Structure 1
Amino acid sequence: MKQTMWLENQTFGTDFILLGLFSQSKYPTLFCSLIFIIFIVALTGNGTLVLLIQSNPHLHTPMYFFISQLSLMDMMYISVTVPKMLLDQVIGIHHISAPSCGIQMFLHLTLVGAEFFLLAAMSYDRYMAICHPLRYPILMNRRVCILLAIVCWLFGSIDGFTITPITMNFPFCKSREIQHFFCEVIALLKLSCSDTSLYETVMYMCCVLMILIPVIVILTSYSLILHTVSRMNSATGHRKAFVTCSSHITVVILFYGAGVYNYMLPASYHTSEKDMMLSVFYTILTPVINPVIYSVRNKDVTAALKKMLWSKWILANFQK
């Protein structure tokens, strides 16, 4: 307690203050507990999905490889912001140093950008599977999948390496209180005492490009898929194509919808409260929703999960 009071009384100089989600909540302890449960569920769900895909040979296909990459990104994504936010609430210290703020911003931007491109790669994979089924094993071999994943991470890191240093080099002579629960670019720029309008315009154009390229790939892939499916005479083929693509389309709508609002709409549409609530959705809730979408209606995943649980049950009873 004495140490906490001593830290709270110190002058943190260039540190920022993250006001977070709980500052205006009537029940911060309850809200904090709920966020902690969501965090654990997200890590457990995505971790289980990655483990299933890696351990089950039947899931060693391009589609599940990309799903495992998405789950890995979601685990990292929620871990960048939530543990710091929960720890701040428990300890009662909401400061974050400038270097830590920059690292958090870089990781967040990298993961957002990587997930944009990964969702585009997943749509391309579905196009190859449905439109070119005979050549699919050759065109989408493991080497190609790994290369696509590397490209997604590379493009995401370019976003982080470009935006982070410029943002952090602006002079911040206004209040050090960030109206957010992590070091988000827009929230941080509001604290700058210099004119950031030109930079915001350039950043807006870069973000549009980062979103537009994957969107074009996704729309093109699904246009070709619809064209191919419409020529099928089999109702079973229609159903299989729909089941294969519906999960991905749902994730795309959720993630890109939030991305368009956050990075493409003019500043007049933004308020601190709206931005924070939207960030809660795509930073905290989406990593929980994604594994549910990809597992509940997926017979292969549910079968692999049942097999794993059954094997553990047999092993546990055999040891007794």
Structure 2
Amino acid sequence: MSKIGVIIARFQSPYLHEGHKSLIESVRQQHNTMVIVLGISPVKGSRRNPLDFQTREKMIKKEYPDVMVLPLPDHPLDTKWSQNLDSLLANTFPGSQFILYGSRDSFKTYYSGTNATVELPENGSFRATLIREQISDKVMDSEEFRTGIIYAYANTYLKVYPTVDIAVLRNNKSALLLGRKDIDNKWRLLGGFSDPTDNSYEEAAARELREECGDIEVTPMQYEGSFRVADWRYQNESDKIITTLFSTEYISGDAAGSDDIAKVQWFSLQTVKEMMDSQRTAAEHIPQLTAILNKYL
């Protein structure tokens, strides 16, 4: 009985490049039946895995309509992923035998199943990663391009953007450092978005504090709570912001506004309460400021 040729790949490219085609043609020449198994990322839409299964399946079938394409979700355990792959093939083609094909940096390092594997030489220096990088900022004037953007955003998970706010206190926690932005001339807590390079929200808070008011010395960050933020930028969006509020005590240094903070200034907690009552503080910071005043005023 002839074995079925199985290509294990991701094909995260806007088109089948020559490396893909060479791989497919090499396997087709050796097998009467061929199937392509596409890896499915647990992240719905990302820079590394921007294309969903259906999009890649249509791309393949446009040029190879007779080829079966199957989805295989990624798994954190290589052994379990290997078992899932073997089960997928056995259940789709009962009683058949298989040879699994891939190119350099393919699945072979992670596979521990029962099927034979073959590594095919690469044809040229084609890389889907490089192709994605080259077109990542290329804007096209076509209905298809705009439709693709809409499809991509509609098929990603709704997101919560994490931010941090920092209540810097001094004078036995009776005074609070606030910053003012030119965009609305409102006073607010210092802070901003967490970065993927931050190892913790505490680290993000320390970084944001340095960026917005200079290299002042403070005590370690203390968690105060978390709050959904009514940010005007996301008022009509499905994605939202949740902030983590920290407090810290000022030790030394001269605070000066920087980044998008035009000015920083110390206020007594009683003055902060009066500023909130007269709407001189940013509306999206009212819950955080209220928490600080309730605890320390």
Shorter-normalised TM range: under 0.3
Structure 1 or 2, whichever has the larger Rg, is 2
Higher relative contact order (CA 8 A, sep 6+): 1
More strand by share: 2
| Bigger helix fraction | 1
Q: TM-score, normalised by structure 1?
A: 0.20
